[in-house]
Structure 1
Amino acid sequence: MASAQTLLDVLRSHSKVDCDTFDHEVARDLGPFVDCTSNQLRELIGIDDQKQAIAYGELARLDADGGALHAELISSAVAYAQSHHAQHGGVGLAELAVEVMMVKLALRIVPYLTGYSHIQTNPMYSYHKDKTIENAKRIVAIFKDLDPKYDPKRVCIKIPATWEGMQACRELEKQGIATLATTMFCLEQAALASHAGCTYIAPYINELRVHFDETYVDENKAFGFCGAAQRFYEKTGSRTQVLPASLTSIQEVMMLAGAHHITVSPPLLKKLSETPANPWEGDTGSVFQGAEGSFADYSAIVDDESAWRLAFTRSANGQSEGKIIQAINIFCEKQEKLEELVSAQK
């Protein structure tokens, strides 16, 4: 007798589903998935813990026996960084070790993917085009070195959607490296990402703060922007795909059924896999339903840095820029802590 259809089955019938985790057991049990979009900060220092109860000095989440879950991976990454540091001139040893750790985490989950492994660049380079490009190419080189059999064209580099970040995306895409413009909050960013040739954008439905402050609720969720971005891309014939992220409930996930891609965290994947599709009285796919609507002409700003920056600053009366500033600050704080932890292991 066939098993009953679940909400995860329904979601997969509407969108390409990506896993927002490097936990290979989750991918094995609920996959296969298309892409893996997770952020190394979450996996190594407990970014999902809203109260941040896991002290950063522990370096890793604990396993069932109370040991450091990623102890061997971390020590081997540090050893690799020490032995290969000289060939990557200009990058700090701790920074290099962090990059190696995220590639090692990504490679563990590759057997359960059909598409890309997404790796995020150092958020400290959010406003530096050249360093972002160097960082991205170094990540691809580490993939090649750690697993020569893995196709480097299956690496997608996640880059904050600043002006500099998206100019880096433009150059990387020209060199055959796939990119995702992350921390995306408005059509000004989406139009520039398309102009730059990004493979994906990641609209944050909830601003990043919701994952750290359990008392905080985003009162301006980006469902409208997400739907508008996908309609804009379809209307303009853009190759860029919409991949919504930062979701907090299965209700939010199902509202986004019909997105080109969607990335879902382990707790929500589990709930979706356990929830019968019938009866489901919640919303399914409403974000992408309704009239197409009209769009502003962004052609005058996507080649003009000053004009684009002003338009971005004024978007939603400054809310869009405020949200990316908040996200970059959070990511930079976690990057600093990770590098401190790695330095303590040397």
Structure 2
Amino acid sequence: MNQLEALKQFTTVVADTGDFRQLSAFQPQDATTNPSLILKAVQKSEYAPLMQECVTRWKGRSIDELMDRLIVRFGCEILSIIPGRVSTEVDARLSFDTEATVARAERIVELYQAEGVHIDRVLIKIASTWEGIEAARQLEQRGIHTNLTLLFSFAQAVACGQARVQLISPFVGRIYDWYKKQAGASWNEAEMAGANDPGVQSVRAIYNHYKRFGIKTEVMGASFRNVGQIVALAGSDLLTIAPDLLAKLAESSEPVQRALDPQAALQLDLPAVTYDEAGFRYALNADAMATEKLAEGIRAFAADAAKLEQMMVAAA
């Protein structure tokens, strides 16, 4: 049994890609996309016709509608290959606008439904800002399930649990990146690997809190830099993994043991934590890593969304 097969015993494996032709090789349950992954995909010759077809078919529609139609088209292609759910992202430029996020999410779901896709097979990805979490709370109440992304802090996770969102995506690799950069020459890769990795520790704390207090929100570790981070989170509800790391897992026969256990979490003596808006904003502000990486992530996704728009305008 290879590491990928072993991991699937404890954890639902999700593919993190817009390159849907790679999916069948790894047989993931679910898949996630974002503007950066779609941008990367449409620059490949085999995917460029999808964008051209979308632009031609819906000529004259607003650019934001064309964007949504393109990402839904990719989502439908992905859903034709996988048995589970696809995560589709709301434009990151709406990350601080609850009302606009809700409206855009509802349109994305309507576009999927028009293609015959059941609402339960779609997760709407939203940045874990206070406004984004509030939008997710409203969407969940309407039966639209959400995946809260760009999540770097315990405070964000607690607020998502309170909002009863379907799933969160804590970003392991980007947390690791920040601490490694801060440490500079003093960083010791061997000492900070596996269970000592700061990104791994962040997800473990969130997972244990959720399981200890019966919070139903699913935990899906994301943004991995190496196989060690993935193996150290075996047992997480889900893990979303890029194709290159899925390939490495499939090539290795090293043992994989459950690292996160819901029954063990129930025995932990943990404090109950809740946040109102002021408390959330203060806790997030107090966490320099989370504040910086959240802002950086929104900027990067927004920039890639803008590039994708420019490509669509040029193709029109």
Question: What is the TM-score when the length of structure 1 is the normalising length?
Answer: 0.80
AA matched with 2:232: M
Corresponding residue to 1:177 among 129, 139, 144: 144
Corresponding residue to 1:319 among 286, 289, 295: 289
The answer on whether the counterparts of 2:167 and 2:220 sit within 8 Å (CA) in structure 1 is yes
Residue in 2 that maps onto 1:160: 127
1:40 shift after superposition? 3.8
Residue in 1 that maps onto 2:273: 298
The answer on whether the counterparts of 2:224 and 2:241 sit within 8 Å (CA) in structure 1 is yes
1:70 shift after superposition? 1.8
Gaps of 5+ in 1: 47-59, 63-67, 86-92
Residue in 2 that maps onto 1:51: none
Residue in 2 that maps onto 1:41: 36
State yes or no: 1:142 paired with 2:138.
Answer: no
Q: What's the secondary structure of 2:17's corresponding residue? A: coil
1:111-260 matched pairs, under 5 angstroms: 111-145=80-114, 147-148=115-116, 150-207=117-174, 221-260=198-237
Q: What's the secondary structure of 2:143's corresponding residue? A: coil
Gaps of 5+ in 2: none
CA distance in 2, matches of 1:27, 1:173: 28
1:10 shift after superposition? 0.6
Residue in 2 that maps onto 1:337: 307
CA distance in 1, matches of 2:64, 2:167: 26
Residue in 2 that maps onto 1:276: 253
Corresponding residue to 1:94 among 54, 58, 63: 63
Corresponding residue to 2:47 among 70, 75, 81: 70
Corresponding residue to 1:61 among 43, 54, 58: 43
1:242 shift after superposition? 0.4
CA distance in 2, matches of 1:61, 1:287: 38
Residue in 2 that maps onto 1:89: none
Residue in 1 that maps onto 2:16: 20
* 218-227 vs 334-343, greater mean Cα deviation: 218-227
* 160-169 vs 254-263, greater mean Cα deviation: 254-263
CA distance in 2, matches of 1:296, 1:342: 50
CA distance in 1, matches of 2:175, 2:239: 17
AA matched with 1:43: I
CA distance in 1, matches of 2:36, 2:52: 17
Residue in 2 that maps onto 1:265: 242
CA distance in 2, matches of 1:18, 1:223: 17
1:204 shift after superposition? 0.2
The answer on whether the counterparts of 1:180 and 1:200 sit within 8 Å (CA) in structure 2 is yes
* 334-343 vs 20-29, greater mean Cα deviation: 20-29
1:284 shift after superposition? 4.2
AA matched with 1:142: L
Q: What's the secondary structure of 2:123's corresponding residue? A: strand
The answer on whether the counterparts of 2:150 and 2:297 sit within 8 Å (CA) in structure 1 is yes
CA distance in 1, matches of 2:261, 2:310: 43
CA distance in 2, matches of 1:28, 1:101: 21
CA distance in 2, matches of 1:160, 1:260: 20
The answer on whether the counterparts of 2:39 and 2:304 sit within 8 Å (CA) in structure 1 is no
Q: What's the secondary structure of 1:113's corresponding residue? A: coil
The answer on whether the counterparts of 2:35 and 2:301 sit within 8 Å (CA) in structure 1 is no
The answer on whether the counterparts of 2:33 and 2:87 sit within 8 Å (CA) in structure 1 is yes
Sort the Cα spacing of 1:124 and 1:243 in 2 relative to 1 into closer, same or farther, 3 A.
Answer: same
> 4+ residue runs of structure 1 moved beyond 6 angstroms?
216-220
Q: What's the secondary structure of 1:262's corresponding residue? A: strand
CA distance in 2, matches of 1:228, 1:208: 14
Q: Percent identity?
A: 25
Alignment size in residue pairs: 301
Residue in 2 that maps onto 1:11: 7
Q: What's the secondary structure of 1:298's corresponding residue? A: coil
Question: What is the TM-score when the length of structure 2 is the normalising length?
Answer: 0.87
CA distance in 2, matches of 1:14, 1:297: 27
The answer on whether the counterparts of 2:235 and 2:261 sit within 8 Å (CA) in structure 1 is yes
Deviations 1:95-144 (A, max 9, x none): 22121111111111213322211101000000000000011011111112
